[in-house]
Amino acid sequence: MPWLSDRNYFLCAVIFYGIGMLHSVFLWREGFRHHDRITAGLLLAGFLCHSRAMILRGMTFQHCPVNNLYEAFTFVIWTIVGVALVVSLLPRFRFVAAFAAPIIFALGVFALMPSLDVHYKNKPEFSNGLRSLHAALSLLSYGAFGLGAVASSMFLTQEHDLKFRKLRAVSSMLPSMERLEKSMTYLSFTGFGLLTAGLALCPFLILQQKNEMRITNDPKVLWSMVVWGSYFVLLLRHTRFGQTGRKFAWGLIWVFAFVLLTFWGINLFSPTHKI
């Protein structure tokens, strides 16, 4: 039936994400600990619809659904929601689902733009298995970086409360700044490792192309190296040179913002990456 298309399932998922966002915003001042189950339940309902949408799309193309920008964004969102739900099962991290809901909803609305769901012809063909693995690893890394940015925003919120609203900071439902900083670090290293693995497959993908092409001619590969280098510098300064706290958090937020703002444009100029 037409109304059971993958895009309609994803639309239902975004609606659930939006309700979860509204619930988390209205309950902000009361803290998330007593109400996070509702938000997590809404995200779970959206996640199930989202998963169904991805399964239907994947069955249509017979491989990992990452053929264009729409599918790439839905994959990243699906990853963020899945990780947020798993993490929120831990008693000390139940706030994560509610805190991530606004970002998830915003990304979902953007992904619904009709112009993103375009299928390109005449693009180089890669081995489906290796290409899907490369795309999945890269997109999973963006999901981890996105959660790292969420943890960074929570860290900055706590810091702001401690500096200007001491009473609110004492009664805050958010975790300690030390715990948030550890979460930022772990998520960043996870994303960095996934992105490194994804980029390591690039030479094998180039060799499997029918038409010869130099890596330096593809702006998406160069862009990916810039992102990889940015996170490498941030993690190096954090682990080796003692850059912690506010500067590290802002660095993670700004680099992820760069990824979101340039991801769409860089793919339009890439001859081999039309996702």
Q: For residue 54, what pLDDT is reported? A: 86
pLDDT at 154 > cutoff 70: yes
Average pLDDT over residues 151-160: 79
9, burial (CB in 10 Å: exposed 0-12, middle 13-18, buried 19+): buried
d(CA 217, CA 206): 12
Quickly count: other Cβ atoms within 10 Å of residue 45's Cβ: 17
Residues 6+ apart with CB under 8 A from 229: none
Look at residues 93, 119, 145 and tell me which one is the last residue of a structural domain.
Answer: 119
- With respect to residue 49, please indicate whether it lies within any of the assigned structural domains: yes
Question: Quick check: is 45 in a domain?
Answer: yes
Query: Could you give the C-alpha distances from 37 to 88, 99, 163, 220, in angstroms and in order?
Result: 9, 13, 30, 40
Does 96 share its domain with 174? no
**Alpha-carbon distance values, 179 to 48, 75, 154, 182 (Å):** 30, 28, 11, 5
Q: Within 10 A of 164 (CB to CB), how many other CB atoms are there?
A: 9
- Where in the sequence is the domain holding 188, given as residue range(s)? 133-275
User: If you average pLDDT over each of 87-91, 139-143, 233-237, which comes out highest?
Assistant: 233-237
Comparing 65 with 227, the larger pLDDT belongs to 227
On whether both 89 and 8 belong to a single domain, the answer is yes
pLDDT in tens, 7-50: 889 999 999 998 988 887 776 555 555 556 788 888 999 999 99
Q: How many Cβ atoms sit within 10 Å of the Cβ of residue 2? A: 5
Task: Say if 126 falls within a structural domain.
Answer: no
268 and 171, same structural domain?
A: yes
Q: What are phi and psi of 98, to 5 degrees?
A: -70, -35
Task: Name, of 132-141, 144-153, 198-207, the range with top average pLDDT.
Answer: 144-153
Per the listing, tokens 């249509």 go with 60
| Amino acid letter, residue 109 | V
Structural domain contains residue 124: no
pLDDT at position 124 is 44
Q: What pLDDT sits at residue 144? A: 82
Q: Are residues 249 and 161 in the same domain?
A: yes
- pLDDT tens per residue across span 194-243: 889 888 877 666 665 555 455 556 777 788 889 999 999 999 988 887 77
- Whether residue 12 is found in the same domain as residue 114: yes
Tell me which residue has tokens 């609606």.
Answer: 15
pLDDT at 127: 45
Choice between 141 and 241, residue whose per-residue pLDDT is larger: 141
The answer on 253 and 138 residing in a single domain is yes
45 and 167 housed in the same domain: no
Residues 250 and 272 in one domain: yes
Claim to verify: residue 112 and residue 219 sit in the same structural domain: no
Asked if residue 184 belongs to a domain, the reply is yes
Buried b / exposed e across 80-105, counting CB within 10 Å, b at 16+? bbbbbbebbeeeebbbbbbbbbbbbb
Write out the two tokens for 165: 């609203």
- Looking at every residue in the chain, the average pLDDT score rounds to 76
Residue 264: pLDDT over 80: no
Mean pLDDT score, 132-152 = 79
Do 20 and 71 belong together in one domain?
Answer: yes
